[in-house]
Amino acid sequence: MTAKRDVVITEVCLRDGSHAIAHQFTVEQVVNVAKALDEANVPYIEVSHGDGLAGSSLQYGLSRTNEMELIEAAVSVCKQAKIAVLLLPGIGTMQELKQAANLGVKMARIATHVTEADISAQHIALAKDLGLETVGFLMMSHMAPPEKLVEQAKLMESYGADTVYVVDSAGALLPQEVKERIRALRQSLKINVGFHGHNNLSLAMANTLVAIEEGATRIDGSVRCLGAGAGNTQTEVLVAVLDRLGIQTGIDIYKMMDLAEEIVAPILQVPQEITKDSLVLGYAGVYSSFLLHAQRASKKFGLDSRDILVELGKRKVVGGQEDMIVDVAAEIAGKKAKVSVG
């Protein structure tokens, strides 16, 4: 019998966490993590390249292992958890979504920039046709006011989405801003509302709790904060906090603590913490997955990575424009060279 859940958690460490380790997950790691999450009674586990299906590329970062192998491996060890995938139209195609469904995936999360929900229509429709639970994922939600967010969420609802998420991709939203956005969606939609946070301003937990207070019932977390930038809302901590609040998740707290410590912690290349670079992501409102790209560009051009990230924020660069990182770095370096010569 499935435990009653007041809040349904999707674990994203095997997708968002891919950013933190430069997309180097192995089949063994995915099997170990997915199996332990399944045993802890986590209901949904997202598995794919950090930038979603077909994200493995020179622009976004090459995967060590084909993501379909990782998805198949996760499906094979889960007895109750359902495997989810992320798809960004323009990166992933209908072909990859069909392939994932054939491997046993049960949920598709279709992600667009917060003002571009209209490009998700075909993919949401296909996901529903494939019998998948379907989520609309409005990324960089800090870049649109609540009214615009409602407009875009309603589009996803009209296409057939079962849930629409406010996605704080940059970890830039403040609690009051989360409150306004979740409240606006709850008042305007007939479907579930979700929240996905990043911890770049150390607000992921606070923002998640505010979202839940305002009626969000679908929440993302990442074990050990394994995710882009400073990571996501830390799942094992969230489960403990919600238990203290009397909110049911159906997840075994001790098992979550154990797998975080014994299985996920050794995967991290460095501890997931708020560094100066990840802090600037939230401060400047920059996509969290830009972190490693900006650090590489800073070394290549001899720049402070914060200067690159702040300039990207000023230009309102969004996910999918990773190629701009090198362009901006080259431009800053060129200007500095002219000043030093002058």
Q: Which residues are catalytic?
A: 19
CA angle, 216 as apex, 173 and 196 as ends, to 5°? 45
Q: Hey, what amino acid is at 272?
A: Q
Residue 234 DSSP class: B
304 is in an annotated binding site: no
Match 């998805």 to its residue by tokens: 71
243 is in an annotated binding site: no
Distance set, CA 208 to CA 117, 200, 237, 319, 321 (Å):
23, 14, 12, 22, 27
Nearest CA-CA partner of 106 in 88, 131, 87, 77: 131
* Phi, psi dihedral angles at 166 (to 5 degrees): -85, 120
What is the distance between the alpha carbons of residues 24 and 50, in angstroms, rounded to a whole number? 10
198 is in an annotated binding site: yes
**190 φψ region: left (φ > 0), alpha (ψ -120 to 50), beta (else):** alpha
244 is in an annotated binding site: no
Q: CB of 277 within 8 A of CB of 296? A: no
Nearest CA-CA partner of 192 in 218, 213, 230: 218
181 is in an annotated binding site: no
Q: CB of 229 within 8 A of CB of 254? A: no
196 is in an annotated binding site: yes
Residue stretches of the annotated binding site: 15-16, 169, 196, 198, 287
Residue stretches of the annotated binding site for Mn(2+): 16, 196, 198
Residue stretches of the annotated binding site for substrate: 15-16, 169, 196, 287
